[in-house]
Structure 1
Amino acid sequence: MPDIKLAQLPDRTPVKLGISVMPDLHQALNDYAALYAQAYGREETVADLIPAMLTAFLESDRAFSKGRSK
């Protein structure tokens, strides 16, 4: 095997999850998507925004980061 600097890339195969949300959360997500479109001039579906929202949430949770690294 050649000795190259770049490490092997991790698995990037998306995992599809199905969830159910309450009507008020569904409306809030739709409202967020509308505000996102206003802010960036580009419409994105709620389904496309949710992974980024969850990533941002998990990255901002310091207790989760500490607990996960143990």
Structure 2
Amino acid sequence: MAKLKLGPLPDDRPVKLTVELPASLHRDLFSYGEILGRDGGDGPVEPVRLIVPMLERFIATDRGFARARRGCAAPKPAHDPTS
């Protein structure tokens, strides 16, 4: 069994998405889906079903993004006109 970053994909209602991908990336997604399906015993996973979990995983593990998000979400100190 290959050690992939994605586990079994949740059974979710499909959403239409139109994107243009380089052919090499599409081939990689197709291969990833084949390996993921083989390891999960469910058969190949369509490349379009990989995009959302991969993006979610990428964002969840991006420390710079998390740091920047926390910085943006922090309330700005109120200006004290008496000082």
Give the TM-score normalised by structure 2. 0.60
Q: Verify: 1:63 aligned to 2:36, yes or no.
A: no
Instruction: After TM superposition, give the deviation of residue 68 of structure 1 in Å.
Output: 1.3
Q: Which amino acid aligns with 2:53?
A: A
Structure 1 residue runs of 4 or more that deviate by more than 4 Å after TM superposition:
none
Distance 1:39 1:64, change over 3 A: same
Structure with a larger share of its residues in helix: 1
When Rg is computed on C-alpha atoms for both structures, the one with the higher figure is 2
**Identity rate, percent:** 32
Gaps of 5+ in 2: 1-13, 72-83
Partner of 1:22: 22
Q: What is the alpha-carbon root mean square deviation over aligned residues?
A: 1.8
Gaps of 5+ in 1: 1-13
Return the structure number with greater relative CO, CA threshold 8 A, min gap 6: 2
